[in-house]
């Protein structure tokens, strides 16, 4: 019985095949139509290419400056050199809105030019026969997209400006011309690609930097090239190869420029801080040296250093502890004075100036990070905004907390100084046979040593800061400049033809089924 059913099924299958094969002309027509449409689409569609670039970002840069750092003991300005940066942070920095906005503004990607033909339009990139330039840069605040249609009629040019479906302005004139509109004045002029013997028919789309940045962020992909290396890969699918390469190369250049600006901003604040402190300590050191000179003259002392050598040898440990406490007290006092100045409200606080307290250093690091975040926000916004006000309040709160912490630490160093001073007085009282002049001279000499060590320390920091500003090595090392794969990512002829054949067969089969 089952064998009979199989024979019946085979018979029915043959009937179906014969039914469709008798109408092979319909399949042939369907194949010709669909394949023709696919070939026409391949012919008229401009291919899309994958543009790629790779950069290497070291988590700890191996620059000549770092080699010099290893030879200079006590020098540590790693925040200026970016040595502690994470590769993940760098990827997010490249992906940031502000970074893409710099690219958009640099390449004028908020302006799009194309031919006005309805069939086979041509997109222009730096080769449009005419350009439109706003007299005042309105792209920073522009929220709408303005569209222009420029068409020549004889010697005159007709320009139509619209927003959405609403016509805002329409005028006929000869080039070059300044068109006055409700959005400002626009200068329309020809370029080197203009042919006076050829009619102009150009469409222009003019949008704000923010909108163009959002669109560009969606098009560019930034990620690890491989999880085993600090190489960042950037990809962009683009019909215009030159435009795609320009975008990625400009993104790399903007990243390097931004890194240099951050480094120089911190180094610049360090210069002001160090110059101010060096001048102050220098004046105090001169005053102490004058005191020593006057003291020797008044007391007829000649070889006081040799006489005081015994005390200096026996009190080395005491002096070191006292100098350390007073140095820390002086440094924390300098930081307190820096924070109390109104003009330094939003200035970066120098970190590596000799502070040993980890809590204060971590607090100052977070305070500086908040100031850098505010600086980045100011570059992307104009005027007062709620976000900026909130950030200012947070920074002021952090500023007050840091002052409280610093004052507490300052009080601790003050007590430590007093205790050490009391121990020193007790030690000096036990030294018999030492003239009063020797004890007074040692006190003055100790003050001189403290100021001198602090003066040398600040000079070292100033030199280190100058060396850091002289570093010109870019943050990102270019592994591969933007390049294009030879095979376009779309359209792909073989896949498209296979799809067209499938649609043709299925469509013809459905038509036969319904029709017959």
Asked whether the beta carbons of 247 and 236 are under 8 A apart, the reply is yes
The rounded percent of the chain whose pLDDT value lies above 90 is 11
34-72 pLDDT, tens digit per residue, is: 888 877 877 777 788 899 999 888 654 444 344 444 444
Asked whether the beta carbons of 155 and 199 are under 8 A apart, the reply is no
Mean pLDDT of the chain: 78
DSSP 362-387: HHHHHHHHHHHHHHHHHHH--S--HH
CA 246 and chain centroid, separation? 18
Of 411, 328, 409, 330, residue with least CA distance to 363: 409
For residue 222, list its beta bridge partners: 234
169-205 pLDDT, tens digit per residue, is: 888 888 888 888 888 889 998 888 888 888 888 999 9
Count of helices and strands (H, E) across the chain: 15, 13
Residues 6+ apart with CB under 8 A from 319: 312, 446, 449
Buried b (16+ CB within 10 A) or exposed e, 109-134: bbbbbbbeeeeeeeebbeebbbbbeb
Q: Are strands 111-115 and 201-206 parallel, antiparallel or unpaired?
A: antiparallel
pLDDT surpassing 50 at residue 159: yes
Residue scoring higher pLDDT (28 or 129): 129
Q: What dihedral angle (degrees, nearest 10) is formed by the CA atoms of 369, 373, 374, 377? A: 170
Q: Tokens representing 375?
A: 């600086």
Q: What's the pTM value of the predicted model, to 2 decimals?
A: 0.56
Q: Which residue is associated with the tokens 């003239």?
A: 435
pLDDT of amino acid 102: 92
202-240 pLDDT, tens digit per residue, is: 999 999 999 999 999 999 999 888 777 788 999 999 888
pLDDT band at 490, cuts 50/70/90? confident
């Amino acid at each position: 019985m089952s064998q009979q059913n199989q024979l019946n099924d085979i018979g029915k299958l043959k009937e179906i095949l014969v039914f469709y094969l008798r109408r092979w002309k319909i399949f042939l027509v369907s194949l010709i139509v669909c394949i023709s449409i696919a070939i026409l689409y391949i012919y008229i569609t401009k291919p899309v290419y994958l543009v790629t670039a790779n950069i290497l970002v070291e988590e700890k840069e191996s620059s000549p400056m770092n080699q010099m750092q290893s030879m200079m003991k006590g020098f540590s300005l790693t925040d200026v050199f970016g040595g502690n940066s994470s590769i993940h942070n760098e990827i997010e920095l490249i992906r940031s809105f502000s970074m893409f906005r710099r690219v958009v503004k640099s390449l004028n990607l908020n302006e799009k030019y194309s031919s006005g033909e309805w069939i086979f339009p041509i997109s222009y990139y730096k080769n449009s026969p005419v350009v439109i330039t706003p007299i005042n840069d309105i792209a920073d605040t522009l929220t709408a997209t303005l569209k222009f249609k420029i068409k020549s009629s004889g010697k005159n040019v007709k320009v139509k400006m619209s927003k959405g479906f609403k016509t805002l302005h329409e005028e006929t004139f000869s080039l070059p011309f300044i068109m006055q509109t409700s959005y400002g004045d626009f200068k329309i002029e020809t370029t080197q690609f203009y042919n006076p013997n050829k009619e102009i028919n150009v469409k222009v789309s003019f949008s704000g930097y923010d909108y163009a940045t959002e669109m560009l962020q969606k098009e560019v992909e930034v990620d690890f090239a491989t999880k085993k290396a600090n190489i960042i890969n950037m990809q962009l699918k683009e019909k215009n190869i030159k435009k795609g390469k320009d975008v990625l190369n400009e993104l790399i250049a903007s990243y390097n420029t931004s890194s240099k600006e951050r480094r120089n901003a911190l180094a610049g604040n360090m210069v002001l801080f160090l110059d101010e402190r060096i001048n102050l300590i220098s004046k105090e050191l001169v005053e102490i040296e004058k005191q020593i000179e006057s003291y020797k003259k008044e007391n007829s002392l000649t070889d006081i250093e040799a006489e005081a050598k015994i005390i200096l040898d026996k009190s080395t440990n005491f002096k070191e502890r006292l100098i350390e406490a007073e140095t820390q007290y002086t440094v924390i006092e300098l930081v307190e004075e820096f924070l109390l100045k109104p003009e330094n409200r939003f200035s970066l606080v120098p970190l590596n100036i000799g502070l040993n307290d980890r809590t204060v250093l971590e607090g100052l690091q977070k305070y500086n990070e908040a100031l850098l975040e505010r600086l980045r926000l100011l570059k992307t916004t104009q005027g007062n905004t709620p976000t900026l006000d909130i950030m200012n309040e947070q920074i002021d709160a952090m500023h007050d907390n840091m002052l409280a912490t610093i004052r507490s630490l300052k009080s601790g160093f003050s007590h430590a100084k007093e205790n050490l001073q009391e121990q020193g007085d007790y030690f000096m009282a036990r030294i018999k046979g030492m003239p009063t002049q020797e004890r007074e001279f040692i006190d003055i000499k100790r003050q001189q040593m403290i100021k001198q060590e602090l003066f040398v320390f600040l000079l070292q920091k100033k030199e280190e800061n100058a060396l850091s500003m002289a570093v010109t090595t870019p943050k990102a090392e270019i592994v591969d400049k933007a390049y294009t794969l030879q095979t376009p990512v779309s359209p792909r002829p073989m896949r498209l033809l296979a799809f067209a054949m499938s649609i043709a067969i299925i469509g013809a089969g459905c038509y036969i089924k319904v029709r017959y």
